[in-house]
Amino acid sequence: MSEKTIISTVSAWELGEKFETTRASKNEALREARIAKLDGDLSENAPYQAAKEKFRTMGRIQRRITSEMNELIERGHTVVDPLSWVKEGQAQEVELGSVVELEQDGEPRLILVAGARDHHFPAEGNIVPVPYNSPLGKVLLQRRAGERIAAVINGSNSALGIIAVRWPTRDEIFHIWPTMRKGM
């Protein structure tokens, strides 16, 4: 068995919520199709055709989410609270939960090495989560400030320079995942 996948609590919540929303949309489309079917000639019935297409689309999305959830269960997973990454002291090397100030091909970037499904652009702040198992995340793990790295990322040669490694603040975590404030 391969290594367990690490996901954040927020990603686990979002995956479950997306599954429930998709299931509700699929059931709604089925109800719409049944009502539209009462209007007769199905080949000329635009509401029926639209409801059937929505039903099929939601079914495909639901199957994809179910497959992803089954893979997490089969492979094994660990759920981590992003607030556990807020620590005292200085991070010594890049690891899960650390903030990396880096230069990538001459451009400054500020990233948080996050869980496997954390790949969104935050609404606030300038720290972008990058999954630890992404091409960039894999290259950065166990590296230290001051290191320069030549790497192939997504098929392109990249020059990386790690300027600093540190732990995130509580506010930075809330900027990346605003929904976590609601649970507080």
pLDDT digit string (tens) for 76-127? 788 889 999 999 988 999 999 999 999 998 999 999 999 988 888 887 889 9
Q: Percentage of the chain with pLDDT > 90? A: 47
Q: In angstroms, rounded to a whole number, what is the distance separating the alpha carbons of residues 31 and 37?
A: 10
| Helix intervals (H) in 38-165 | 46-75, 135-140
Residue 20: how many CB atoms within 10 A of its CB? 11
pTM of the model: 0.73
Q: Which fold has domain 5-80?
A: Helix Hairpins (1.10.287)
Average pLDDT over residues 136-154: 94
Report how far apart, in Å, the C-alpha atoms of 159 and of each of 88, 108, 116 are. 30, 12, 23
Give me the CATH code for the 82-182 domain, please.
3.10.50.30
Domain ranges of the chain: 5-80, 82-182
Coil vs helix vs strand at 108? strand
